[in-house]
């Protein structure tokens, strides 16, 4: 059993005005190929800092402490030079952000942004990259993809923008997608469509997903395993079934108790 991603004793510190703040305080976990794992926590839990550390996008005010290790496909990401890391990003590890509106380039047509992912990773033929982009936009459910590929982000709804983000992230069939609250900015009906699409694409390409979320509903819907973080520490790691039915840590129980639940009439059948 080989893990796709192994995070070992990860510690991330942010340089504050007065003193340094430990955002991630020694976190270890692994993600297997093709697995959908939730990284659950509230604001300030360190879940986003963990994700950014994995994809190498922590800002300048943050530093990864010595002793931390992040191994991905057998390589230690923390020892990787920036050019090698850039080659990995987008091709082997992709990221989906919460705010697609901010993550997409506002002055570039969405089709070009999808094609760009192919072009920066070795595709020479522009026409072929563009065709790939249109096919992918069609796959993520952008209606009339050939025409909509020429749209700018602001011409699309929030749900459509997030679909474009998924198209960019999954175009090159990476082995890991980090999805940081991919649907928390969306309405429930759109959220369900986008999550369903993410799962479909993930299964098609055998991609593993690290789903960063505060929403246990999203976890119950999509993930097979969950890691619960609180104040920079991993407090529980369990299958989602165990997490909901046999939570071990008090904080997990608190989260479950606080989760708004819709009592529904039992569906027929």
Partner 1 sequence: MTGSALVAVRGLRVVHRSAGLFARSAVTAVEDVSFEIARGETLALVGESGCGKTSAARALLRLIPCDAGSVTFDGTDVLALAPEPMRRLRKRMQVVFQDPYSSLNPRHRVGTIVAEGLVVHRLASGAAAQARVASLLKEVGLDPADTAKYPHELSGGQRQRVAIARALAVDPEFIVLDEAVSALDVTTQAQVLALLEHLRDARRLTCLFIAHNLAVVQRIATQVAVMQRGRIVEAGPIAQVFDSPRHEYTRTLLDAVPVSDPRDPRALRGQQAERAQPAVGVANRQ
Give residues in contact with partner 1 (CB under 8 A): 1, 3, 9, 26-32, 34-37, 42-43, 187-192, 195-196, 199-200, 203, 214-225, 227, 233-241, 243-245, 254-255, 257-265, 267
In angstroms, what CA-CA distances link 242 with 16, 35, 169, 220, 225?
38, 16, 30, 11, 9
User: Judged by CB, which is closer to partner 1: 45, or 113?
Assistant: 45
Burial class of 189 by CB neighbour count within 10 A (0 to 12, 13 to 18, 19+):
exposed
Core vs surface per residue 155-171: b (16+ CB within 10 A) or e: ebebbbbbbbbbbbbbb
User: What is the number of other CB atoms lying within 10 angstroms of the CB of residue 41?
Assistant: 25
Question: Rounded to the nearest whole angstrom, what is the least distance from the CB of residue 139 to partner 1 in the complex?
Answer: 16
Question: Rounded to the nearest whole angstrom, what is the least distance from the CB of residue 110 to partner 1 in the complex?
Answer: 21
User: Judged by CB, which is closer to partner 1: 5, or 95?
Assistant: 5
DSSP state for residue 230 in the 8-state scheme: E
Question: Rounded to the nearest whole angstrom, what is the least distance from the CB of residue 240 to partner 1 in the complex?
Answer: 5
User: Judged by CB, which is closer to partner 1: 108, or 259?
Assistant: 259
Burial class of 113 by CB neighbour count within 10 A (0 to 12, 13 to 18, 19+):
buried
Question: Rounded to the nearest whole angstrom, what is the least distance from the CB of residue 156 to partner 1 in the complex?
Answer: 14
- Closest C-alpha to 205, from 30, 31, 34, 32: 34
User: Judged by CB, which is closer to partner 1: 76, or 241?
Assistant: 241
Question: Rounded to the nearest whole angstrom, what is the least distance from the CB of residue 35 to partner 1 in the complex?
Answer: 5
User: Judged by CB, which is closer to partner 1: 128, or 203?
Assistant: 203
């Amino acid at each position: 059993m080989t893990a796709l991603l192994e995070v070992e004793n990860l510690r991330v510190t942010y340089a504050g005005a007065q003193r340094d703040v430990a955002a991630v305080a020694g976190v270890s976990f692994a993600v297997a190929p093709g697995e959908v794992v939730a990284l659950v926590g509230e604001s300030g839990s360190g879940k986003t800092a963990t994700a950014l550390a994995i994809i190498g996008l922590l800002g300048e005010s943050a530093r990864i402490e010595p002793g931390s290790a992040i191994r991905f496909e057998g390589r230690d990401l923390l020892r990787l030079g920036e050019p090698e890391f850039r080659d990995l990003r987008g091709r082997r590890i992709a990221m989906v952000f919460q705010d697609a509106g901010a993550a997409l380039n506002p002055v570039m047509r969405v089709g070009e942004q999808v094609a760009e992912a192919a072009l920066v990773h070795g595709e020479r033929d522009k026409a072929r990259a563009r065709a790939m982009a249109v096919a992918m936009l069609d796959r993520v459910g952008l209606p009339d993809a050939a025409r909509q590929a020429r749209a700018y982000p602001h011409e699309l709804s929030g749900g459509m923008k997030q679909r474009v983000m998924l198209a960019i992230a999954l175009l090159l069939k990476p082995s890991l997608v980090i999805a940081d609250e991919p649907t928390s900015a969306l309405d429930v009906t759109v959220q369900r469509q986008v999550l369903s699409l993410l799962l479909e694409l993930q299964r098609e390409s055998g991609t593993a997903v690290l789903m960063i979320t505060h929403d246990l509903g999203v976890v119950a819907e999509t993930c097979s395993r969950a890691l619960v973080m609180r104040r920079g520490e991993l407090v529980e790691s369990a299958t989602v079934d165990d997490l909901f039915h046999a939570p071990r840590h008090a904080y997990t129980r608190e989260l479950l108790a606080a989760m708004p639940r819709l009592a529904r009439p039992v569906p027929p059948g």
